[in-house]
Amino acid sequence: MSIQGKQLLVKELIEALSPKLTMTDINIVTNTLNDILPDYDVEVTRTDEFQNDFEQLLKAFLDTKRIEGRSEKTIERYRYILTKFHKAEPFPLQKMTIFSIRHYLGSEKERGISDRTLRGYRDIFQSFFGWLYREGLIPSNPCGNLNPIKCRREVRVPYSEVDIERLKEACSCQRDKAIITFLLATGCRISEVCNLDKQDIDFASMQCTVLGKGNKERTVYLDGIATMQLKQYLTSRKDFNNALFVGKGSERLQPGGVRKRLNELGKKAGVENVHPHRFRRTLATNLINHGMPIQEVASILGHDNINTTMTYVYVSSENVKNAYRKFA
């Protein structure tokens, strides 16, 4: 079997022999086993017991995260990643070692998984095993010495004014223009937009309340253009659906439908990398460039941590140069 099976065998033998041997004897046995075992296959046969143990602990962990207010989407990602890890390393959680976790992350990297994705895996493992340790369910935290995974920071450029105008010109219906201007003005996540109803919009104050991650409400704002485009779109509709945006058959528009449509508009307009989240980055960059404090930008985007907001902001070299000339 894999090296983890041999590590488990060595660990259990040492635990069983430790009351009867001196530390010198234990080191001799450990070194001898490590020299001999590479020539042998080790098969773990208690997988059913381990699987039941894992599933119960995983359920308790996910219940905890649900109570803490994590979104169902986040919880399902935790479930998927941790289940995949356990299938690759099917050993009791109480005996999990950092070597097993490093071996798994290394195997995923060899398989072509990006460092950014692996960093997400590490964060999930840190959360899971840290919770098990704090709850007293495992004797030690195998992630205690698991160092952060460094990622090359990608420069994610926001839409330019020309990009936005091209996208508007590519629109063949009022709905698409309303979606583009609404996303640009509010910085909403696409799931938040698709969950909105018509009555959620306060046209008098040009704002609305959205339900974001963790069931947290926040207020977002519309500018004059977004308000005008949205009014024209709602006036043009003949259906009786309460959804703010509808698709074919007058059914509530779904996130996948918006992504697909924006991708089509991007190809038609000659604008690369068109997707909903880029509108959030564009709004964040525009607000910062116009002098809004980062804390207020974070509030509009629904970020608890301003460090997250900072990753959304694009700082052009031209802006840096102009700022230097102004303040130096």
Structural domain count of the chain: 2
CB 219 within 8 A of CB 208: yes
**CATH code of the domain containing 61:** 1.10.150
Specify which residues 201 forms β-bridges with.
208
The answer to whether residue 9 is domain-embedded is no
- Both 312 and 171 in one domain: the answer is yes
Q: Which of these, 277, 302, 300, lies nearest to 183 by C-alpha position?
A: 277
pLDDT at 48 (0 to 100): 47
C-alpha angle 57-60-66 in degrees, rounded to nearest 5: 140
CB 121 within 8 A of CB 78: no
Residue 173: pLDDT band with limits 50, 70, 90: very high
Q: What percent of the chain clears pLDDT 90, i.e. is strictly above it?
A: 51
Per-residue pLDDT for 18 more than 80?
A: no
- Both 172 and 292 in one domain: the answer is yes
Residue 323: pLDDT band with limits 50, 70, 90: low
Cα–Cα dist 19/26, whole Å: 10
Cα–Cα dist 191/90, whole Å: 35
Stretch 237-260: mean pLDDT, rounded?
Answer: 92
Paired tokens of 60: 């308790």
Amino acid at 65: K
The answer to whether residue 199 is domain-embedded is yes
Specify which residues 197 forms β-bridges with.
243
- Both 214 and 123 in one domain: the answer is no
- Both 309 and 173 in one domain: the answer is yes
CB 83 within 8 A of CB 76: no
Q: Name the H helices within the chain.
A: 3-17, 23-36, 47-67, 72-88, 98-110, 115-134, 161-170, 174-186, 190-194, 224-236, 255-269, 276-289, 294-301, 306-312, 317-327
The answer to whether residue 15 is domain-embedded is no
- Both 112 and 173 in one domain: the answer is no
Q: What percent of the chain clears pLDDT 70, i.e. is strictly above it?
A: 87
- Both 263 and 121 in one domain: the answer is no
pLDDT digits 0-9 by tens, 175-212: 999 999 999 999 999 999 999 999 999 999 999 999 88
Cα–Cα dist 126/142, whole Å: 9
The answer to whether residue 100 is domain-embedded is yes
Q: Which of these, 185, 189, 183, 233, lies nearest to 211 by C-alpha position?
A: 189
- Both 210 and 282 in one domain: the answer is yes
pLDDT at 49 (0 to 100): 45
- Both 201 and 101 in one domain: the answer is no
pLDDT digits 0-9 by tens, 79-114: 999 999 998 888 788 888 898 899 999 999 999 998
CA–centroid distance for 227 within its chain: 31
CB 229 within 8 A of CB 174: yes
The answer to whether residue 101 is domain-embedded is yes
- Both 114 and 176 in one domain: the answer is no
Q: Residue 233: what are its φ and ψ, rounded to 5°? A: -65, -45
3-state secondary structure of 197: strand
Q: Which of these, 56, 49, 126, 127, lies nearest to 91 by C-alpha position?
A: 49
Paired tokens of 71: 């979104």
Q: Which residue segment(s) compose the domain that 125 sits in?
A: 45-134
Domain boundary among 134, 149, 174: 134
**CATH code of the domain containing 264:** 1.10.443.10
The answer to whether residue 183 is domain-embedded is yes
Per-residue pLDDT for 50 more than 80?
A: no
- Both 93 and 232 in one domain: the answer is no
Half-sphere exposure (Cβ direction) of 45: Cα atoms closer than 13 Å = 1
pLDDT at 216 (0 to 100): 84
